[in-house]
Amino acid sequence: MSLSLLLLVIGGTLAMTLFGILGGLAFSGIDRVLAARMQSRIGPPLRQPFLDMLKLMLKQNIVPANAIPWLFNGAPLIALASAITILLYIPMSSLQWFPLLGLHGDLILIMYLLILPALAMVVGGLSSGSPYATIGAQREMVTMIAYELPFAVTVITFAWKLVQADVAHPFSLATLAATPIWTLVGPVGGVGLLLLLVAMLLVAPGELGRIPFDAPEAETEIAGGLLVEYSGRNLALFYLSLAVKTIVVTALIVALFFPWNLSDWFGAGHPLLAGAADAVFFLLKLELVMFVAITLVRISVARFRINQIVDIYWKNVGAISLLGLILVMADAYIL
Partner 1 sequence: MKTINVKKPAGYTTSIGPAHPALKEPVMFALGLEGERIVKCDFVPGMAHRGIEWMGMRRNCIQVVYLAERICGLCGITHALSFCRAIEQIAQLQVSNRAHYIRTLVGEIERIHSHLLWAGVQAHELGFDSAFYYSLRIRENIMDLLEFLTGNRVHYAMIQIGGVRRDIVPDQFARIEASLRFYEDAFDRLSAIFLEDTTVQMRCRDCGVLTRKQALTLCPVGPTARASGIRKDVRVDTPYAAYADLDIAPVMPDQFTGETRGDVYDRIVVRLLEIKQSIRIIRDCLAHIPDGDLLAIPKPAVLLAKLKAAEGEAVGRHEAPRGEVMHYVRLTAGQEEPTAWKVKASSYSNYMSWIPMMEGDQVADIPVIAASIDPCISCTDRVALVRGTDRQIWTKDDLHRLSVEKTRRIQASISAGGNES
Q: Which residues bind partner 1 (CB under 8 A)?
A: 38-41, 131-132, 135, 138-139, 211-212, 214-215, 218-224, 299-308
Q: Residue 136 or residue 324: which is nearer to partner 1 going by CB?
A: 136
CB of 20 to partner 1, least distance (A): 27
Q: Residue 160 or residue 291: which is nearer to partner 1 going by CB?
A: 291
- Dihedral of CA atoms 151, 155, 157, 158 in degrees, nearest 10, equals 140
Distance CA(24)–CA(86), nearest Å, equals: 14
Phi, psi of 186 (to 5 degrees): -85, -170
Residue 230, judged by CB atoms within 10 A of its CB (0-12, 13-18, 19+), counts as buried
Nearest to 270 by CA among 95, 97, 98, 91: 95
Rounded alpha-carbon distances, angstroms, from residue 172 to 25, 150, 169: 28, 20, 6
Distance CA(84)–CA(247), nearest Å, equals: 10
CB of 142 to partner 1, least distance (A): 9
CB of 48 to partner 1, least distance (A): 17
Distance CA(128)–CA(141), nearest Å, equals: 16
Q: How many helices (H) and strands (E) does the chain have?
A: 14, 0
Q: Residue 221 or residue 287: which is nearer to partner 1 going by CB?
A: 221
CB of 303 to partner 1, least distance (A): 3
Distance CA(79)–CA(88), nearest Å, equals: 15
CB of 39 to partner 1, least distance (A): 4
Q: Residue 139 or residue 161: which is nearer to partner 1 going by CB?
A: 139
Nearest to 91 by CA among 214, 297, 264: 264
- CB atoms under 10 Å from CB of 269, counted, come to 10
Asked whether the beta carbons of 188 and 331 are under 8 A apart, the reply is yes
Q: Residue 108 or residue 308: which is nearer to partner 1 going by CB?
A: 308
Q: Residue 11 or residue 300: which is nearer to partner 1 going by CB?
A: 300
Q: Residue 135 or residue 146: which is nearer to partner 1 going by CB?
A: 135
Asked whether the beta carbons of 215 and 139 are under 8 A apart, the reply is yes
DSSP 8-state assignment for residue 157? H
CB of 315 to partner 1, least distance (A): 13
Q: Residue 129 or residue 180: which is nearer to partner 1 going by CB?
A: 129
Distance CA(157)–CA(154), nearest Å, equals: 5
Q: Residue 63 or residue 222: which is nearer to partner 1 going by CB?
A: 222
Asked whether the beta carbons of 156 and 323 are under 8 A apart, the reply is no
DSSP 8-state assignment for residue 103? G
CB of 42 to partner 1, least distance (A): 11
CB of 333 to partner 1, least distance (A): 36
CB of 45 to partner 1, least distance (A): 18
Asked whether the beta carbons of 116 and 78 are under 8 A apart, the reply is yes
